[in-house]
């Protein structure tokens, strides 16, 4: 049984989705996967980032994380995306990454990737589910297999247990309101397990 390869791909401005990605990595490693944690390319002008202390600090914090490439998607059996909600949908930096995978998609290499997604938003009803659903719409075009958590474990009935994928509220103080660590780790394990089943079936 060969080891599942999982890419955890995130975008963050304030660090939340980096933390979610790190928990996902921990959960996936515990489940036996080989994991790459990757960020998507920043699109905002450097001058804008420089004028925002929080953004500047986050950029420095993640400076050594590799930028996701098409080769990472090709390499991965499974992918977990983590992205802030922006005006009710995913941040454009991640959308741009998806939109630059047309070549990979055209060659059939996005098919059967096992995916799930996570998000954060400032308001409890700020569009988390809409963000996850719009991301999953793109994944259907990829021919990916969506391994949403559903209510497949008791952890989903606790804080942050969103059947579409983990979501967390970020307060004005930039801290996470709900404790979602267990939900994230569970989601990562489920994504790895489903990826393992698909991988075994293809062998």
Nearest distance in Å: CB 157, ligand FMN: 23
Give Cβ neighbours of residue 26 (< 8 Å, ≥ 6 apart). Answer: 185, 188
Classify burial at 203, counting beta carbons within 10 Å of its beta carbon; exposed 0-12, middle 13-18, buried 19 or more: exposed
State in angstroms the smallest separation of the CB of 36 from ligand FMN: 19
Tokens 């700020």 belong to: 126
- Beta carbon of residue 114, minimum distance to ligand FMN (angstroms, whole number): 23
Structure tokens at 35: 């994991």
- Binder among 94, 121, 139, 156 for ligand FMN (CB under 6 A): 121
Q: Of the two residues 84 and 161, which places its CB atom closer to ligand FMN in the complex?
A: 84
Selected binder of ligand FMN within 6, 7, 95, 126 (CB under 6 A) = 126
Classify each residue of 1-33 as buried b or exposed e, where b means 16 or more C-beta atoms within 10 Å of its C-beta.
Answer: eeebbbbbbbbbbbbbbbbbbbbbbebbeebeb
Beta carbon of residue 84, minimum distance to ligand FMN (angstroms, whole number): 3
Q: Which is nearer to ligand FMN, 8 or 195 (CB)?
A: 8
85 lies in the binding site for ligand FMN (CB under 6 A) = yes
């Amino acid at each position: 049984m060969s080891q599942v390869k999982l890419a955890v791909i995130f975008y963050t401005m304030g660090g939340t989705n980096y933390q979610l990605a790190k928990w996902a990595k921990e959960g996936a490693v515990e489940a036996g996967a080989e994991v790459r944690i990757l960020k998507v390319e920043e699109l905002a002008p450097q001058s804008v980032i420089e004028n925002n202390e929080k953004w500047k600090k986050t950029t420095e914090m993640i400076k050594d994380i590799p930028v996701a490439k098409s080769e990472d998607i090709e390499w991965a059996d499974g992918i977990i995306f983590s992205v802030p909600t922006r005006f009710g949908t995913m941040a454009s930096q991640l959308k741009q990454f998806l939109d630059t995978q047309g070549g990979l998609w055209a060659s059939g290499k996005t098919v059967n990737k096992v995916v799930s997604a996570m998000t954060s938003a400032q308001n409890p009803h700020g569009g988390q589910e809409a963000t996850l659903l719009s991301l999953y719409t793109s994944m259907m075009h990829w021919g990916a297999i969506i391994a949403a958590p559903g209510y497949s474990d008791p952890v989903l009935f606790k804080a942050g247990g969103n059947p579409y994928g983990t979501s967390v509220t970020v307060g004005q103080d930039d801290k996470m309101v709900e404790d979602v660590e267990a939900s994230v780790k569970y989601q990562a394990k489920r994504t790895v397990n489903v990826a393992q089943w698909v991988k075994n079936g293809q062998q």
